[in-house]
Amino acid sequence: AQTVTQSQPEMSVQEAETVTLSCTYDTSENNYYLFWYKQPPSRQMILVIRQEAYKQQNATENRFSVNFQKAAKSFSLKISDSQLGDTAMYFCAFMKYASGTYKYIFGTGTRLKVLA
């Protein structure tokens, strides 16, 4: 069974600095997708970044980038130039759909606080 582990329940970072959130997962699949979602205090969850497992290149979205290590089953999120608006809960998620079976597994989340 697939599992997603976020080992850092809480983190804090000074404004303008860089922070890395960890995520590891366990799967026997070869083709799958990984996501980072952000849930601000207002609670509506939004996508931050996605990574296709078949792509070796790490995904980047403005200040957000990932370090995808497929062999190590690691998918960390780096936030550069942290802003106060980055304060949120961040969830790592694994997704696989094949042969009528759907899997979308979330980690337990990392609460990030950006300090002024």
CB of 77 to other proteins, least distance (A): 15
Structure-block tokens of residue 5: 């582990």
* Contact status, residue 58 vs residue 36, Cβ threshold 8 Å: no
Selected range binding other proteins among 17-25, 60-68, 78-86, 90-98, rule: CB under 8 A: 90-98
The reply to whether 33 sits near other proteins by the rule CB under 8 A is yes
The reply to whether 107 sits near other proteins by the rule CB under 8 A is yes
The reply to whether 113 sits near other proteins by the rule CB under 8 A is no
Among 28, 30, 44, 56, contact with other proteins (rule: CB under 8 A): 44
Residue closest to 80 by CA, chosen among 23, 18, 2: 18
Tell me how many degrees the CA angle 99-6-24 measures, rounded to the nearest 5. Answer: 55
